[in-house]
Structure formats: structure tokens, C-alpha cells
Amino acid sequence: MNHDPFTTFGGWFAEAQATEPNDPNAMILATATAAGRPAARTVLLKAWDQRGFVFYTNLTSRKSEELNQNPSAALLFHWKILHRQVRIEGTVSLVADGEADAYFSTRPRASQLGAWTSAQSKELADRETFDREFSATETRFTGQPVPRPPFWSGWRLTPAYFEFWQDQQFRLHDRITYKRDKDQWITGRLYP
């Protein structure tokens, strides 16, 4: 293991991209309300660097509401073929508008239109309602680029803690941790 958790993550993530058949960038995002009520869901990692791990969503969604109430969150990557998982804990903040605009422009047009159409996490009477609203959004943007909605952006989780878990025979797993201490990472090991 490297003394830098981002280097370790990069190596493991590259292996996952080479071996996992579906969405090696899928991660569980765990949030909690201000009162501590937890929730978890799968989101897709869209960027990562020394600043943290980025995913995108509707800013009125349940996850965004919870992140606004309580900016502490956790991520979990599970790569079944490699028998590995990575846990990351930290705080979140919104990405810069320019970064969100740049990513949004790379999305397929239907995904861009879907971002405008979906009132993510809100009650939907029936699928036909959504399909009708999507068609209206298509008409609205006919013949022009689809701009990023003002209610859609990215969140960056800035890590304070990593755990790299490697499956071992007889459940004698390896668990390596990194804890942020000012400007350095302190490594450790946990019992299986």
C-alpha cells in the first residue's frame, strides 16, 4: 500500500475498470438528515482527484437535501470480482459552476433533457406523466444545445478517512486505513 490513499485508490480503481463487467465507478452514497436519519443509494463516480470524489444530481433530490442539512457523507465501492471494497468518509461541497457545466455538456442529449424533466425523488403519478413532460422538454430545446439546469450540479466528497478492504481466505481479511491529520495521512490496520 502506498502512503497516499489517492494513489492506492487509483491503482485499485484501474484494476476494477479492467475487470468489473458493469459500472466499476458505481458507489454507494450514504447520507443522513440533520436528525441523523440515514439513507443510502448507488450513484456513479464521475471525477476524482486529490480534492475528492465527484458525482452529479438534481439539487432538489432527497440526497441533495440531506447533504445540505448534514454535509458529512460516506462512499462505498464494492468490486465483487476483485473481492475488494473501499470505504471513504468526509464532507461534501458543491463543485464550481464551470466544472458542472463542462461535465453536463458531455452527457448524452437524452440525459441532459432528463435532468430538466425529472423532479428527482418527488412523487410521480404514473410513467405516462413523465413521458409527456419529457416530450415537452424535447420540444422546448429543439434545434439548440441543452444548458445545464440551475437545479442540477455536482457534489465533491473531500475525504478525511479511507479504508481499503481485501478479502482473504477464512474471512481473515486485510483492512488498511488512512486518516487525515492536518496535511498528512496516517496509515493503520484493522482487525478483520
Q: Residues with catalytic annotation? A: 171
* C-alpha distances in Å from residue 78, one per residue of 101, 112, 191: 29, 28, 19
Contact predicate 77/149, CB 8 Å: no
Query: In angstroms, how far apart are the furthest CA atoms of the chain?
Result: 60
Using CA atoms, how far residue 153 sits from 102, 111, 123, 156, in Å, is 11, 13, 21, 10
Question: Which grid cell sits at 95?
Answer: 463543485
Round to whole Å and give the CA distance between 151 and 64.
10
Please say whether the beta carbons of 157 and 90 come within 8 A: yes
Place of cell 437524452: 110
Could you say which DSSP state residue 67 is in? H
Q: From the CB of residue 168, how many other CB atoms can be counted at a distance below 10 Å?
A: 12
